[in-house]
Structure 1
Amino acid sequence: LGLLDSLFTALDEQQMSYHLFDEVFPNPTEALVQKGYAAYREAGCDYLIAFGGGSPIDTAKAIKILTANPGPSTAYSGVGKVKNAGVPLVAINTTAGTAAEMTSNAVIIDAERQVKEVIIDPNIIPDIAVDDASVMLDIPPSITAATGMDALTHAIEAFVSVGAHPLTDANALEAIRLINQWLPQAVDDGHNLEAREQMAFGQYLAGMAFNSAGLGLVHALAHQPGATHNLPHGVCNAILLPIIENFNRPNAVARFARVAQAMGVDTRGMSDEAASMEAINAIRALSKRVGIPQGFSQLGVSKADIEGWLDKALADPCAPCNPRTASRDEVRELYLEAL
């Protein structure tokens, strides 16, 4: 809680009372949201401050829903179902990152069904987003790598999304460039302030891109092992990213050629087809460089787990923006390749 001291000091100086709810865990569940909302009501609070990465911020977004709408928060899974905005929410981000501090997405696990419910609604966008690289300096290398690859996934999925447009393209390409350049440096030396700052910019730009363009099958498939095996979201994305984008590549060859350029590949003299393959190679190289596991089998996942994920992945709200439609059998093959 050392990072919170400056926040508490500022609140104390303004003579503002507050209640600390510090029970959030990775991959938050509806039960956690209900517990947090009960604490909010009991303390008689007027607004919310989320401090942390994607899990604390998503939890706060879900609590925000419950301050003005009947529960559970998972009932609002899908797009545009939250009728009322709820109380103000300030999101102070400490990772780079999920971009949860500025997006309209929240992911909450329905533990009974073992599925991640994706809530997408402008009414849950935090009212104030704060990114301060100085609070990111002590994030461990493994979390830096996982959250950084999550941000790269946001940028690439947004760039090849069926919902992409010139504004999201500009943000996504710059995010890819920044993350490719600075993530290894942030992993190698967490106290490299410039690397932390550039990663904060990169993940924010990626958030701006996918908040408008949407995501895709990487997230749709990644949500399932995250829900059933409690695996880090960024690691799940990173394992699946090169596999699914290689599947998508025939439908977006020219775009993947531009991804390669943004990742520092010298594509002069290459055809778009060749350059698009280099994009996939660059993704794999970056993932390996920052220490991401190269398959789900290293994380306790087996072939037997896959069958229960297929329908849930296809029903995930992130799937429709993917540039290539996948059949149930194709999703199975993608998971098998990711083992």
Structure 2
Amino acid sequence: MIFLLQTSFYKLLMLATGMLLKIVPLPKPTIYCGPGSSLQLCGNVIQFGYKHVLIVTDAILHEMGLLDAVKAKFETAGVRVTVYDGVEPNPTFAQVHAGLKLAKENSCDAIFTFGGGSPIDTAKVISIAATNTKTPEQLVGFFKAKNPGLPLFAVPTTAGTGSEVSLGAVISDPVTHKKGFVAEPKTVPIAAALDPSVMLGLPAPITAATGVDALTHAVEAYISTLASDESDAYAIASVKMIFENLREAYSNGSNIEARESMALASCYASLALNKALLGYVHGIAHQFGGYYNTPHGLANAIVLPHVLDYSQDACIDRLSELAVAVELGRDTESKSVLAQKFVDAVRQLNSDLNIPSTLDALIESDIPGIAKAALKESHYSYPVPKYMNQAQCEALVGKMVS
């Protein structure tokens, strides 16, 4: 009885969230796409007349020299550049503060972020923290920024998070293991470049994990109770493109067409989640990141099939539609059969990409805490198609113990 009352409250909360999303304008960045588009974006930034740009990235990308052409483009045009390359997977507030300090010390008037979801998320929070009186920690939550952030431009180097178009950022607290979600339209970049040429050297395991991360975004948006015609269009396009291109991008990383298609698929998936939000996969995966520093894409990829198993009976229609969209069957077949085919296809995709079904780092004694935090995040933030209680969540997470 108590659980029924709780789920009724969560459904009302999500209904209110859906109404709010319809009212709040969600900006979409200008998108440059194709080989060399990252330098085209630099040219766009130069035309705005900014004097000093903070580049937010990670040390590996910086050391590999992938930023050299970007820096040269700016400096040749007389734009000063400061690089913050201290971002790590599952970025922390300490990293945000370090980048923010550089931005203020150098009077940076724009931010250019180059990297995966971690540098982009870090840059987003630096952007709004630089122009608002709240600390990065105080910006956690919904719509906490009063002023627009520093102008932000993004070049994703992975095809997974779609952070270049999403309205949020996730920052970790390594002490409490909690993920701080900053949900703020003011974090959306002005423009972004989907440049497959900067993704050609991406290692196969990262290609796999980030690709299934994008798939997770699209699927969770499609089975969300807040799904709309707009979010559905983006989600279906994304799922189709991922099933058509991810295996090729994984096995043949130099295929620039497959890389470009995956970059677009990631972007579309994020546009879908902007409207329809996420679900239990992210609620659980965020805890894996907080507890064990598991890369977000890998965490999502491991969790996705397990959550689809649990939710399947509540979203058979939606999963069957995805099965037809990726040509796993015909719409004349039983919806339950089609739904199962889609879940099986997700598992097969993971297997083909050598993604494990369990998490080596997962400790059984941590499961109650993980489940509690995952449910709190999910029930207050995500319009899931089927609710679960503490015992059910613990049982589901327990299936991922190696």
Shorter-chain TM band = over 0.9
Where does the alignment leave 5 or more consecutive residues of structure 2 unmatched? 1-61
Flag the 1:83–1:311 CA change in 2: closer, same or farther, 3 A: farther
Residues of 2 paired with 1:47 and 1:268: CA distance? Answer: 50
- Measured after TM superposition, the shift of residue 261 of structure 1 is 1.9
The one-letter code matched in structure 2 to 1:233 is: H
Residues of 1 paired with 2:95 and 2:219: CA distance? Answer: 31
The one-letter code matched in structure 1 to 2:169 is: A
The one-letter code matched in structure 2 to 1:207 is: S
Q: TM-score, normalised by structure 1?
A: 0.96
Displaced runs of 4+ in structure 1, greater than 3 A?
A: none
- Measured after TM superposition, the shift of residue 268 of structure 1 is 5.0
Q: How does 1:98-247 map to 2 (within 5 A)?
A: 98-247=161-310
**64-73 or 225-234, which deviates more:** 64-73
Deviations 1:266-299 (A, max 9, x none): 2354200111111110110001111111201xx2
- Matched residue pairs, number? 337
Q: Is the CA contact 2:217–2:278 (under 8 Å) kept in the aligned structure 1?
A: yes
Residues of 2 paired with 1:41 and 1:268: CA distance? Answer: 57
Q: Is the CA contact 1:30–1:72 (under 8 Å) kept in the aligned structure 2?
A: no
Structure 2 partner of 1:283: 346
Residues of 2 paired with 1:242 and 1:77: CA distance? Answer: 29
Q: How does 1:2-151 map to 2 (within 5 A)?
A: 2-151=65-214
**254-263 or 136-145, which deviates more:** 254-263
Residues of 2 paired with 1:309 and 1:72: CA distance? Answer: 27
Residues of 2 paired with 1:112 and 1:249: CA distance? Answer: 35
Residues of 2 paired with 1:293 and 1:119: CA distance? Answer: 30
Structure 1 partner of 2:56: none
Residues of 1 paired with 2:219 and 2:213: CA distance? Answer: 10
Structure 2 partner of 1:312: 373
Give the secondary structure class of the aligned counterpart of 1:19.
strand
- Measured after TM superposition, the shift of residue 263 of structure 1 is 3.1
- Measured after TM superposition, the shift of residue 144 of structure 1 is 0.5
Give the secondary structure class of the aligned counterpart of 1:45.
coil
- Measured after TM superposition, the shift of residue 111 of structure 1 is 2.0
Deviations 1:91-120 (A, max 9, x none): 111110110011101000022211111111
The one-letter code matched in structure 2 to 1:124 is: T
Structure 1 partner of 2:34: none
What is the percent sequence identity of the aligned residues? 37
- Measured after TM superposition, the shift of residue 42 of structure 1 is 1.2
Q: Is the CA contact 2:91–2:172 (under 8 Å) kept in the aligned structure 1?
A: yes
Residues of 1 paired with 2:355 and 2:367: CA distance? Answer: 21
**130-139 or 260-269, which deviates more:** 260-269
**299-308 or 191-200, which deviates more:** 299-308
1:302 has 2:360 as partner: no
Where does the alignment leave 5 or more consecutive residues of structure 1 unmatched? none
Give the secondary structure class of the aligned counterpart of 2:84.
coil
- Measured after TM superposition, the shift of residue 319 of structure 1 is 4.5
The one-letter code matched in structure 1 to 2:192 is: A
Residues of 1 paired with 2:283 and 2:381: CA distance? Answer: 6
Give the secondary structure class of the aligned counterpart of 2:80.
coil
The one-letter code matched in structure 2 to 1:167 is: E
Structure 1 partner of 2:397: 335
- Measured after TM superposition, the shift of residue 35 of structure 1 is 0.9
